[in-house]
Amino acid sequence: PGSLGTVFQTIDNNYYCPNWSITGYCARTNLPSNTSMRGPGWINAVYFMEYVMEHVAKTLNADVTSIKQLNFYKENQVTPYGQKLVYYNIPTMWETVKLSSDYDNRVKDVNAYNSSNKWTKRGISLVNVKFGIGWQGAQYGVLLNVYEDGTVNVTHSGTEIGQGIDTKVAQVVAYELGIGLDQIVVFQTSTVAQPNTNATGGSITSGLNSLAAINACQILQEKLKPVRAQLPPNSSWVQVVSTAIAQNIDLQSKGWVNPPASPYGPWLYNSYVVACSEVLLDVLTGEIQNLRTDILFDCGKSLNPAIDIGQVEGAFMQGVGLHTIEEVKVDMSDGHLISNGTWEYKPPSSQDIPIDFRVTLLKNAPNPVGVLSSKASGEPPLAAGCSVSLAARHAIDAAREDIGTTTFFTMGSPATAEAIQSNCLVSCS
């Protein structure tokens, strides 16, 4: 039910339609239950809508990028679920990626290649993603302890799982207190220091723990104000701390955040992604190679560009796995899972990474409602992985056209080598 509810608030992606009518149903099946690894409901909804746009373009015999662009939202329009789209960057980002990726010229090159090659084909696809970030109901805390040597011990309520939360929180504390990053020590998350907080997830934990850290720093700075007033203006952090301790001032503070409802709708803001991928297809085997991917990600004013670019790259590759190779196989006779190991279930490896991988963060786009003008970077790029499977679809179209077949064909996700080869309609005779 949770995933289905998310579908209702994401299925529009970036396309305006004045007469949406959506009905969702939960079904009981005889298969084992599954759980979402990331982006529940939303990643499926984005792929569904991009697939619809492909179908519309094929039916109209029109360029799919033009069809998408004609249907983009405009700034301040309202979605079917009541979200007002303020600070809407997709139209600008779309044009930027078309230019930076040399999309129009590469389409010509792809068409020329396909007309000259029968057993290998190329395809190129441009996709866009809107990912809503909601803070309502979340609660996180940060505990600061300051020691006589000036060291600041930080205990936040998130779990470091590779998303860089420790680094971001430490940077925020250093920034707020005006001290060096080498004076910050992040301790392991503990319910002793931070009880009753939310789980790490939803791409909000780094941002909201950073906000809690700001609150904790502000409380600490208020305690230190009388001390600073007694000291020369250029006094060091260690001098301020030592004086405060000598005056029996408690140098512990706790920040806590529990954000209110968004004034714009179910989401406080959206993170936006535009991605362009080009693939090479072996018609006989159905195998594809990702030649190049260009991604432009709206991260607001990034708290740490190196971390956020890494988050974009990782999430994108997870999406590539979902949409191309990670097939869940079930024995239909008794419902047991067949793909229960890497012999049958293939996550992405080094060979699945684009040969030419270009990731850029949108410049001069601060987020007015974000933490220090930033935006979340964890999950939003995940859905852009469908650009690879849709590029493969375009390559399949080229193979089918060689034998006179131009009708739209159905191919779900993941677009495995078997599915691709089958849809190329290669005859053994």
Q: Which residues does the annotation mark as catalytic?
A: 379
71-92 as b/e: b if 16+ CB within 10 A: ebbeeeeebbbebebebbbbbe
DSSP 73-121: --TT-B-TTS-B--S--HHHHHHHHHHHTTHHHHHHHHHHHHHH-SSEE
In 95-205 the beta strands, taken as DSSP E runs, fall at 120-133, 140-146, 152-156, 184-186
Q: Specify the 3-state DSSP secondary structure of 195.
A: coil
177: left (phi over 0), alpha (psi -120 to 50) or beta: alpha
| Helical pair 237-246 and 205-230, crossing angle rounded to 10 deg | 70
Q: Which residue has the tokens 């009541």?
A: 82
Sheet holding 252-257, edge to edge: 184-186, 152-156, 140-146, 252-257
Report the candidate in 377, 356, 374, 357 with the shortest Cα–Cα distance to residue 365.
Answer: 374
Distance CA(393)–CA(243), nearest Å, equals 68
Rg (CA), the chain: 25
Do the Cβ atoms of 399 and 279 come closer than 8 Å?
no
Report the DSSP pairing between strands 356-361 and 288-298.
Answer: parallel
* All residues at 6 or more sequence positions from 358 whose CB lies less than 8 Å from its CB, including other chains: 100, 101, 292, 293, 294, 295
Do the Cβ atoms of 196 and 139 come closer than 8 Å?
yes
